[in-house]
Structure 1
Amino acid sequence: MGNLIFNGELITRSAVKIDVEDRGYQFGDGVYEVIRIYNGQLFASEMHLKRLFESAKFIRIKVPFTLEELKAKLEALIVKDGLTFGIVYMQLTRGASSRNHAFPTEEVEPVFIAYTKEMPYAGEVKPGVKALLTDDMRWLRCNIKSLNLLGNILAKQEAVEAGCAEAVLHRDGIVTEGSSSNVSIIVDGTLKTHPANNLILNGITRRVMLQLCQANGIPVVEEAFSIADMLAADEVLYTSTGVEVTPIVSIDGKIINDGQTGPITRQLQVYFREEIERQCGRLKA
């Protein structure tokens, strides 16, 4: 994918120059968003873009477009790249200025980039994965989708080195989320997930899943649950733009649901595919 949006202009990737004193590069002073593309269409785009604007507002960066303008630019980029299945990544930083922890003066303009990447659709049936438990050592504003991801990266790498797909994070024994996902459990037919407060990112796939639960009569409780609750659960699943709805069948070697995808997780996978098709058209995979 050789094109991208740079400060509102659709140009080739090779033409982009980012200043070495860009605050995103030096401080992680910015926010980002990732939207899935199916059949050349943006999925849940309004929810994603609203969250980008909310995150930017939290850290006091003004997005230089309206939501409608930004969506139109992203759609033009997808067409230019001829992308059918994939993602669009976008990032907004506070801009480039002499290195100083304090905000630069108001004449410094934010820097926005967006580009696409292929990601095939694998179908709604996704095999269960292994996960690793680790302490949640991140900051206390996890509800902001910021560029400050070092804590997430270290947790993910710990999981990878242990042969796991995801790290499940906890604070003093209370499960928060995954290193790059939200984690939910099923107990006696009810889906439980951590409340959307400052300790987790309120994932878009998580939000869509909760809407699907409501629409299809699956009870939901948004409350904190412990490691013990999770290990004793009937089903455990994790959700994100990349993995959609995927079961976790082993946590620190403890097998969940005999290592099989549980019935409610399987229902949610089907409902999620139906929602994709409702928004983006029929899927062949």
Structure 2
Amino acid sequence: MVNFNGDLLETSEAKLNLENRGYKYGDALFETLRVVNGKIFFLEDHYFRLMSSMRILRMDIPMNFTMEFFEEEILKTIKANPSFNNSARIRLNVDRGDGGKYLPDDNSKPSFNIVAEPLQNLFYQVNPFEDYRVDLYKDFYVSPGLLSGLKSNNKVIQVIGSIYAKENNLSNCLVLNTDKSIIEGLNGNLFLVKGESIKTPPLEDGCLKGVMRKQILSLLHNNPNYDIEEASISPFELQKADELFITNTIVGIQSIGSYRKKKYANTVAVDILNKLNARLRLGS
């Protein structure tokens, strides 16, 4: 069952109109959330990122689009899929509705849909990483700006970058901006570890304003064992790093095993992951 503007429908019945602007122009936003035992991880962060993104795209926000409204609709969708009750991945999609060319016919009636998929684990796991290989994706570059930080439906670079990775037997690729700085992985934010220093690209470089990125930064800023810095990352720094890892809300932390001939450890990533799970278990 999927949730289509509040109505629960069989997947076969939930069909988008060909005039849907998310389909025609990528005029849509989405949030990917993790739900465990009826609790939506980082709901407030997801909600405020969505509202901020809607304002940037000049979407009118209906009065009923409150955090409580989306929480209720997400949990309603989970309950309609009983096998997903313990742990689920949610995609909440908001688009500008139907009609118009580049100029919308009506900007006041955004629509939403919610799709759930089962997840195996309740909390974040330490994933295998030794065979997790990455390289730079240099066919296209991201131009930094407000739009580059949005989780919008325009993910062409991520799509063709993923195809490139598969064609070259890579697990992932690192994306660069027009200044040739590394900004993120294809599916999450990037962190670089060198000794006790941890660096992640700043939002000004064009990376996604990731919810998990925010959680990791919060953990690190309160940890005296690490020095955290938001600063540009040059490709040359990859060869000197001790660890690299990618973060997103579904996987948590994915350590990178190698970049070209350079191999990495995952000691710091495991430490951070354990602290993240401890925070989640305490419900903070």
- Say yes or no: TM over 0.5: yes
C-alpha distance in 2, partners of 1:245/1:86? 17
Match of 2:184 in 1: 177
C-alpha distance in 2, partners of 1:139/1:200? 10
Contact preservation (8 Å) 1:142, 1:198: no
4+ residue stretches of structure 1 with deviation over 6 A?
Answer: none
Contact preservation (8 Å) 2:34, 2:90: yes
Match of 1:144 in 2: 150
Match of 2:94 in 1: 92
C-alpha distance in 1, partners of 2:104/2:227? 45
Match of 1:195 among 202, 218, 227: 202
Match of 2:41 in 1: 43
C-alpha distance in 1, partners of 2:237/2:143? 24
C-alpha distance in 2, partners of 1:62/1:105? 10
C-alpha distance in 2, partners of 1:162/1:112? 36
Contact preservation (8 Å) 2:96, 2:107: no
Correspondence 1:5 to 2:3: yes
Q: Work out the percentage of aligned pairs sharing the same amino acid.
A: 24
Gaps of 5+ in 1: 281-285
C-alpha distance in 2, partners of 1:59/1:236? 33
Match of 1:156 in 2: 162
Shift of 1:88: 0.7
Gaps of 5+ in 2: none
Match of 2:133 in 1: 130
After superposition, where does 1:1-285 map in structure 2 within 5 Å?
3-64=1-62, 65-82=65-82, 83=84, 84-98=86-100, 100-106=101-107, 109-121=109-121, 123-128=124-129, 129-135=132-138, 136-140=140-144, 141-171=147-177, 172-197=179-204, 199-217=206-224, 218-251=226-259, 253-257=260-264, 260-261=265-266, 263-279=267-283
Paired amino acid for 2:188: S
Shift of 1:168: 0.4
Shift of 1:62: 2.7
Match of 1:283 in 2: none
TM-score (norm 2): 0.89
C-alpha distance in 1, partners of 2:14/2:201? 40
C-alpha distance in 2, partners of 1:123/1:17? 33
Please tell me the root mean square deviation across aligned C-alpha atoms, in Å.
Answer: 1.9
The worse-fitting range, judged by mean Cα deviation, of 200-209 and 126-135 is 126-135
Paired amino acid for 1:92: V
Contact preservation (8 Å) 2:28, 2:93: yes
Paired amino acid for 2:236: A
Contact preservation (8 Å) 2:2, 2:77: yes
Paired amino acid for 1:157: I
C-alpha distance in 1, partners of 2:90/2:75? 10
Aligned residues: 272
C-alpha distance in 1, partners of 2:263/2:50? 35
1:186-206 CA distances to partner (integer Å, 9 max, x unpaired)?
112111000123601111111
Contact preservation (8 Å) 1:194, 1:223: yes
TM-score (norm 1): 0.89
Shift of 1:231: 2.0
Paired amino acid for 1:87: R
C-alpha distance in 2, partners of 1:254/1:118? 36
